[in-house]
Structure formats: structure tokens, C-alpha cells
């Protein structure tokens, strides 16, 4: 079992719709959770962090964490073509940050 | 302020050679982490340095090594290159990697022929 798992996609959503990206992790001791966005040919950039159960909203982005289910998600409301990228889930456990392989999101016109 | 700078951006080597990659972190950042990114495996953690000490190491063979200097600049070295070492090598800096908030450089793309 991979430490951090994501569906590779591509996840295709029409412009204006809600994109839902999911991530599961294996280590119950994990304490911090992050979403990075990586445009094609570019390096990853941090867009969201979440540390406790529940929802955290930042603009069009909402991160959701459920530690009991070992599940993290990222919702993107009003998806725009500029949101088309690969989204990497990252989990911090004992000072080590582990990335999932990412979900490719395509926002269509 | 200046971001994370990696050099060289692109390089081509042959099997058996060695390579050294350099990373200059954001000013004031003391932590530098290195990752290997390939299409099949995604981002794989290599090692992390904090104040010149290797604090964490991933599951890579001993051919992969690194160091950090007193000015926080870091280098990683890969010896006896193999075809499978072809990848994008990303450096990330942070105040402290424990926060998980990493700032990535543009990467060094290594091709091994």
C-alpha cells in the first residue's frame, strides 16, 4: 500500500463546476496535510494546508480532512481553465513529507 | 525576494558518470530538501538538510548524496549514473521542513544516455 494515494486522472470538469480531488494516506500518525499545484513544466507550489479535522476554506479552494478515515480532499469551486494542472497531496509524518503521485485536472470550456 | 535557484537547469550525462546539482534556497531559509520526480513514481524524497546536518533521508541508494554549506546552499551528487536516474531533480527550501510549507526551485532535468 502506498503511503499517499491519489487517483491519477485525468479528472475533467466543465468551467464553472466544482472539482473534487481526493487523497488517502496510510499512517495514522500523520499530522499535517497539504495540497500543491503543479502546472505542466513547472515546479509544485503550495496552495492549501490543513492540520485538524473539518474544512478549511481559502477563496475558491476548500480543503477537507477526516483523520478517522485517513482521507483528505480538495474542492475547487467555480473551476477555471487556469486551474488545469496536477494537484499533489502531501502528508507530513515524523518530519518527513510524502507526496502522492498527483491528480491531473482538466477544466474544459 | 529571490526564489529558490537551481543549477544547472538541464544536463545530459552518460552511464557511469557522476553529476553534481546545486541549490540556493530563499534567503533566511535553513532547510533544503531534495526530490526526484519521474512520470511513473511522482515526487520521491531524497534527503533534507537543516543547518548543515542531514535530518532525513529517503530510500535511495548510497550513490545519491548531498551536503549543505554554512550559507544554506546545498548540493546533491549522483555517482555512477544509471539510465533510471533520468529525472527532474527538485530542490525545496523552507524555514523548517517540519511545517510542510516548501518552496520549490524550477528543477534540474537530468538525462542519462
pLDDT of residue B105: 97
Check CB contact of A97 with chain B, cutoff 8 Å: yes
Check CB contact of B39 with chain A, cutoff 8 Å: no
Are A34 and A23 spatial neighbours (Cβ–Cβ below 8 Å)?
A: no
pLDDT over 80 (residue B100) = no
pLDDT of residue B95: 84
Q: Considering only CA atoms, which of A35, A24, A31 is closest in space to residue A2?
A: A24
Please give the Cα distance from A61 to B63 (Å, whole number): 41
Q: Identify the residue with better confidence: B91 or B1.
A: B91
Segment B58-72 mean pLDDT: 96
DSSP string for B37-106: EETTTEEEEEEEEETTEEEEE-S--TTEEEEE-TTS-EEEEE-S--GGG-EEEEEEEES-GGG---EE--
pLDDT of residue A24: 97
pLDDT over 80 (residue B28) = yes
A42, A90, A100 member nearest B100 (Cβ): A90
Chain A positions in Cβ-Cβ contact with residue B55 (cut-off 8 Å) = 95
pLDDT of residue B1: 61
Residue B96: pLDDT band by 50, 70, 90 thresholds? confident
pLDDT of residue B106: 96
Residue A97: pLDDT band by 50, 70, 90 thresholds? confident
B41, B55, B103 member nearest A95 (Cβ): B55
Chain B positions in Cβ-Cβ contact with residue A43 (cut-off 8 Å) = 90, 104-107
pLDDT of residue A96: 80
Q: What is the pLDDT of residues B54-64, one digit of tens each?
A: 998 999 999 99
Q: What are phi and psi of B94, to 5 degrees?
A: -160, 165
Amino acid at each position: 500500500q502506498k503511503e499517499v494515494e491519489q487517483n491519477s486522472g485525468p479528472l475533467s470538469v466543465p468551467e464553472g463546476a466544482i472539482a473534487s480531488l481526493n487523497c488517502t494516506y496510510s499512517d495514522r500518525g500523520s499530522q499535517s496535510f497539504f495540497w500543491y499545484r503543479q502546472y505542466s513544466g513547472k515546479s509544485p507550489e503550495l496552495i492549501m494546508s490543513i492540520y485538524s479535522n473539518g474544512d478549511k476554506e481559502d477563496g475558491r479552494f476548500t480543503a477537507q480532512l477526516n483523520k478517522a478515515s485517513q482521507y483528505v480532499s480538495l474542492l475547487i469551486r467555480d473551476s477555471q481553465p487556469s486551474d488545469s494542472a496536477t494537484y499533489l497531496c502531501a502528508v507530513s509524518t515524523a518530519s518527513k513529507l510524502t507526496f502522492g503521485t498527483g491528480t491531473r485536472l482538466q477544466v474544459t470550456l | 525576494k529571490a526564489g529558490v535557484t537551481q543549477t544547472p537547469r538541464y544536463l545530459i550525462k552518460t552511464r557511469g558518470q557522476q553529476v553534481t546539482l546545486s541549490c540556493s534556497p530563499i534567503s533566511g531559509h535553513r532547510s533544503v530538501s531534495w526530490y526526484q520526480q519521474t512520470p511513473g513514481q511522482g515526487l520521491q524524497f531524497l534527503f533534507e538538510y537543516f543547518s548543515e546536518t542531514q535530518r532525513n533521508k529517503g530510500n535511495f541508494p548510497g550513490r545519491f548524496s548531498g551536503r549543505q554549506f554554512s550559507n544554506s546552499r546545498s548540493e546533491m551528487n549522483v555517482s555512477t549514473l544509471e539510465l533510471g536516474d533520468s529525472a527532474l531533480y527538485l530542490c525545496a527550501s523552507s524555514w523548517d521542513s517540519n511545517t510542510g510549507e516548501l518552496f520549490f526551485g524550477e528543477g534540474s532535468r537530468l538525462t542519462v544516455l
